[in-house]
């Protein structure tokens, strides 16, 4: 967009001429913005048409992935993978009932194929803050969804930390549950972490935003509004009426996690019996293990919960949790381990200070702190790195490390009918990994959406340049 210059005679100083110049400049800016929106709409229409054409072209096509190791039923097996219309299909039915050969065969060159990674706790990334960027949250979700593809994340839960009521009312409705595609990872729903948590264990959550629920479940509705877009909620189980709140959330299909809490073991067991199924970032923002009362950490080995699986998110980034603690947790309850990043907006950004909600955080030495303190406020690690650390620090099998980032998060969200496994008739969201568990390619609905030769940093640079142009245009308008 270009702005035409208007010459104003200082000698005559004609106010009519000055006002005319102002009007002309504003009209030009408005016209530019209108054209920009028009072109953007046209681009969307063209992109949708291209996508539809591609879908029609590939509809019904059978893809065979061979020479690979598939993660199935907790084991890596040498087998072939068959995909049609975005779904993993049973080859026996294909050959013996339909009698159809594959339309295309892909040599995986010995790669590991596992389900796509699922991150159930991510506060933001690439400069986007899910708890703060109210006016640009929809654009921000797209940026993060796209940026996660190189890291093998095919689905995630945007996480909102303790915020004020108006923030929830504006942001939660915009976090729509959507399937992933080449434009980005799928969104499974929001993870609302707080504000019904302990003041003593608030961590990076602003104390003035914390709440209790003296009126029970109605207090949640009054604060959050509609819960249709919510997949998980973290609460402190020691709060009064927590059991009835947990039961109502579970009844509505929302997973409940326990965190930012001073709860003892008995209170934790009661919450699990009420329907809670997970612990938020184990070891962090909770009372430490004690031999007379292990508190929530004791849930990993509780003899009173043998009839149900207790899951726990753990930030195995090498910063939040000591390798010995990771080993202790994993060996106590390997089946419940869930790899989470707890990533903050600074993930993918350089060293320095960055905003997270109303907090100012500082990145230094691969760690994120509340600026001016020693309080950790989130991770800047990626899921693949956390998976690699888990395997390295616990000597677990490759299968166990991968299950912790795929199957287990899907189980806690109750979506294994479509995500988190390589079972027949589930979504063909999967990864190709090398023997060191580095991501070589990411597939969503059977379509390759990223491979290691791509350079996603270019999209981030493009976004930064776009923001710069917008600022310059705004400056021009303000000058007039």
Q: Is the pLDDT of residue 354 over 80?
A: no
Residue 26: pLDDT band (50, 70, 90) is low
Annotated catalytic residue: which of 133, 243, 342, 429? Answer: 342
Beta bridge partners of 363: 352, 368
d(CA 103, CA 377): 49
d(CA 118, CA 339): 9
Cα angle, residue 59 at apex, residues 54 and 63 outer, rounded to 5°: 100
What's the pLDDT score for residue 6? 37
d(CA 255, CA 253): 7
Q: Which of 338, 330, 307, 343 has the alpha carbon at shortest distance from 407?
A: 338
CB 157 within 8 A of CB 164: no
Cβ neighbors of 337 (< 8 A, separation 6 or more) are: 311, 312, 314, 329, 330, 390, 400, 404, 408
Tell me the CA distances in angstroms from 339 to 104, 169, 336, 403, one per residue in order.
Answer: 34, 29, 10, 9
SS3 assignment, position 411: helix
The length of the chain is 480
The answer to whether residue 423 is catalytic is no
Other residues' Cβ atoms within 10 Å of the Cβ of residue 275: 18
What's the pLDDT score for residue 43? 62
List, in order of start, the domains of the chain with CATH numbers: 116-344+379-418 (3.20.20.140)
Burial 83-108 (b: 16+ CB within 10 A, else e): bbebebbeeeebeeeeeeebeeebeb
Over residues 79-121, the pLDDT tens digits come to 999 999 999 999 999 989 998 999 999 999 999 999 999 999 9
DSSP string, 237-265: TTSTTHHHHHHHHHHTT-EEEE-SB---H
Over residues 281-306, the pLDDT tens digits come to 999 999 998 888 999 999 999 999 99
Higher pLDDT, 132 or 77: 77
Over residues 201-255, the pLDDT tens digits come to 998 899 999 999 999 999 999 999 999 999 999 999 999 999 999 999 999 999 9
């Amino acid at each position: 967009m270009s702005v035409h210059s208007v010459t104003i005679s200082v000698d005559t100083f004609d106010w009519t001429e000055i006002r005319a110049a102002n009007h002309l400049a504003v009209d030009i800016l408005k016209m530019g913005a209108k054209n920009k929106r028009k072109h953007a709409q046209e681009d969307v229409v063209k992109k949708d048409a291209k996508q539809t054409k591609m879908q029609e072209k590939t509809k019904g096509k059978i893809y065979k992935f061979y020479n690979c190791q598939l993660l199935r039923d907790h084991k890596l097996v040498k087998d072939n993978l068959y995909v049609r219309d975005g779904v993993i299909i049973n080859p026996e039915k294909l050959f013996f009932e339909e009698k159809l050969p594959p339309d295309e065969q892909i040599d995986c060159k010995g790669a590991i194929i596992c389900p796509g990674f699922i991150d159930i706790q991510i506060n933001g990334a690439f400069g986007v803050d899910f708890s703060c960027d109210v006016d640009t949250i929809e654009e921000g979700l797209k940026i993060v969804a796209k940026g996660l593809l190189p890291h093998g994340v095919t689905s995630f839960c945007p996480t909102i930390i303790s915020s004020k009521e108006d923030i929830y009312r504006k942001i939660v409705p915009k976090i729509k549950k959507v399937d992933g595609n080449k434009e980005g990872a799928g969104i499974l729903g929001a993870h609302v972490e707080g504000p019904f948590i302990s003041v003593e264990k608030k961590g990076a959550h602003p104390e003035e935003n914390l709440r209790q629920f003296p009126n029970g479940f109605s207090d949640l509705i009054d604060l959050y509004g509609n819960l249709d877009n919510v997949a998980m909620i973290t609460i402190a189980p020691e709060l009064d009426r927590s059991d009835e709140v947990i039961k109502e959330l579970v009844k509505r299909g929302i997973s409940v996690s326990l965190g930012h809490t001073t709860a003892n073991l008995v209170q934790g067991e009661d919450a699990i019996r009420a329907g809670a199924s997970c612990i938020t970032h184990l070891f962090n923002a909770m009372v430490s293990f004690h031999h007379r009362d292990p508190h929530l950490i004791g849930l990993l080995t509780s003899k009173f919960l043998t009839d149900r699986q207790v899951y726990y998110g753990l930030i195995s980034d090498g910063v939040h949790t000591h390798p010995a603690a990771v080993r202790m947790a994993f060996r106590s309850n390997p089946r419940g381990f869930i790899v989470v990043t707890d990533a903050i907006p600074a993930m993918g950004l350089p060293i320095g200070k960055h905003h997270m909600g109303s907090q100012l955080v500082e990145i230094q030495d691969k760690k994120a702190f509340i600026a001016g303190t020693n309080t950790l406020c989130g991770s800047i690690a990626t899921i693949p790195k956390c998976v690699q650390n888990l395997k390295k620090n616990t000597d677990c099998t490759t299968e166990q490390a991968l299950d912790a980032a795929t199957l287990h998060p899907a189980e806690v969200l109750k979506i294994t009918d479509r995500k988190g496994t390589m079972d027949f008739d589930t979504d063909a969201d999967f990864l190709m990994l090398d023997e060191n568990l580095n991501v070589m390619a990411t597939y969503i609905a059977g379509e390759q959406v990223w491979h290691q030769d791509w350079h996603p940093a270019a999209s981030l640079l493009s976004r930064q340049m776009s923001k710069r142009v917008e600022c310059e245009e705004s400056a021009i308008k303000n000058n007039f």
